[in-house]
Each structure stands twice: as C-alpha cells, then as structure tokens.
C-alpha cells in the first residue's frame, strides 16, 4: 500500500465514530495491560515460575525474570495487530467483522491480564 491508500483508508475509518471508539478501546486496553504488567514485574536474581503445563513431570517451569517481559510484548502485539486488522477490514467493507475482531482483541487482553498476573504472582511466591 502506498501513502495515499493508507491516508484514504484512515480517513474512511475516522468518519465511523463507534468504530474509532472500539479501536481506541483496544489500544487503551493494550496500554493499560502493558503498564500493569510492567509495574508488576520485579527484577530478581532468583529464577521465577514462568509457565505452567499439565504435561511433563514438573508442571511448573522456571526461568529468569526477563522472560516475563514477553507478556508486555504480547499485549502490544495484540493491541496493534487487532487495530490494524480492524482498519483493513473497514477498508474492505467488512465493518461487522472488524467490530467482532475489536471485541475479540479487548477480550483477549482481559483474559491475558488475569493469566499474566497469576503467573507473575507465582514468580513473587518463589
């Protein structure tokens, strides 16, 4: 896509106020998720619990605290990619599908926040 196509697409999206509100909600949820996650991570020299799985012998796996920063990157990726997909779907004339994608992105961030805080809580208990 060239610059003119991107500008035209963004102008078309900006005229749809509920659509822009949902895009703003997804981005705001992503930013809030990232802030909460960053403020919950505390650097330490000990290894912390970073994953849980029902498979394997141990169930809880440990890694260095820097691994927890991947949760922040995931939140940014969800917010950015869902917003871009919403703009592209609006450009294609698939407004309802774009709204569905936006609500899915918001829901993913809420569920991920619950899991992230649970995993970080395991890390603090170690």
Task: Provide DSSP, 35-101.
Answer: HHHHHH----SS-EEEEE-SSSSSSEEEE-GGGGHHHHHHHHHHHHHHHHHHHHHHHTT-HHHHHHH
Per-residue pLDDT of the chain (126 residues; tens, 9 = 90+): 688 888 888 888 889 899 999 999 999 999 999 999 999 888 777 677 767 777 767 777 777 778 888 899 999 999 999 999 999 999 999 999 999 999 999 999 999 999 989 888 875 655
Quick check: helix, strand or coil at residue 16? coil
Total count of domains within the chain:
1
Q: Backbone phi, then psi, for 29, in 5-degree steps? A: -65, -40
Exposed/middle/buried for residue 59 (C-beta within 10 Å: 0-12, 13-18, 19+): exposed
pLDDT tens digit sequence for 9-36: 888 888 989 999 999 999 999 999 999 9
- Report residue 88 as tokens: 């592209």
17: domain range? 3-125
Q: What's the start-to-end Cα distance of the chain, in Å?
A: 49
Distance CA 26, CA 60 (A): 31
């Amino acid at each position: 896509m060239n610059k003119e196509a991107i500008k035209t697409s963004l102008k078309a999206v900006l005229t749809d106020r509920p659509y822009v509100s949902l895009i703003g909600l997804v981005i705001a949820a992503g930013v809030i998720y990232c802030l909460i996650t960053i403020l919950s991570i505390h650097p330490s020299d000990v290894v912390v619990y970073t994953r849980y799985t029902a498979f394997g012998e141990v169930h809880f796996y440990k890694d260095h605290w820097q691994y927890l920063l991947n949760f922040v990157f995931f939140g940014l990726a969800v917010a950015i990619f869902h917003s871009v997909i919403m703009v592209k779907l609006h450009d294609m004339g698939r407004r309802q599908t774009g709204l569905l994608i936006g609500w899915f992105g918001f829901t993913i961030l809420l569920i991920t926040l619950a899991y992230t805080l649970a995993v970080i809580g395991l890390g603090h208990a170690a």
